[in-house]
Amino acid sequence: MNYLLLMMSIGFEVLGTSLLKKTDGFTNLLPTVGTLMSYLICLFILSHVVKRLPLSLTYATWGSVGLILVTVAGIVFYHESLSLYSVAGLFLVVSGTVLINVF
C-alpha cells in the first residue's frame, strides 16, 4: 500500500511538472491551477508515505522515478531531445536509487 501511494505521489508530481511548461510563467489559468493542485496532492500523499517508509528511500525513489518520467514526458509531449550525457546521468540516478533501496 505504501508503494502504491508513493507511485500515486510520483504520478501527481509528474503531472504537475509536465503542466508547468503550459502555465507560461503562471499566466495561463487552467494549467496553473492544474500544476498547483497536482503539487498539492502530490505533497499531501508524500507526507503520508514518509510516515511509514524511511525518508531517504522515499525521497530517492520519488525523485529518481519522477525525473525519469518527466524526461519521458518531455520527449513525448514537448519533443525534447536526449543527449548521451543525459542518458548517462539518468543511469547514474537510477543506480544510486537502487543502491539506496537495496542497502
Q: With pLDDT > 90 as the criterion, what percentage of the chain qualifies?
A: 89
pLDDT over 90 at 101, yes or no: no
Mean predicted confidence (pLDDT) in 54-71? 93
pLDDT over 90 at 92, yes or no: yes
pLDDT over 90 at 103, yes or no: no
State residue 2's pLDDT score. 94
Mean predicted confidence (pLDDT) in 74-97? 93
Q: Are 12 and 38 in contact (CB under 8 A)?
A: yes
The domain ranges of the chain are 2-102
Nearest-angstrom CA–CA distance, 27 and 65 = 29
Nearest-angstrom CA–CA distance, 44 and 48 = 7
State residue 46's pLDDT score. 98
Q: Are 32 and 26 in contact (CB under 8 A)?
A: yes
Task: Single out the residue of 90, 91, 92, 101 nearest to residue 61, CA to CA.
Answer: 101
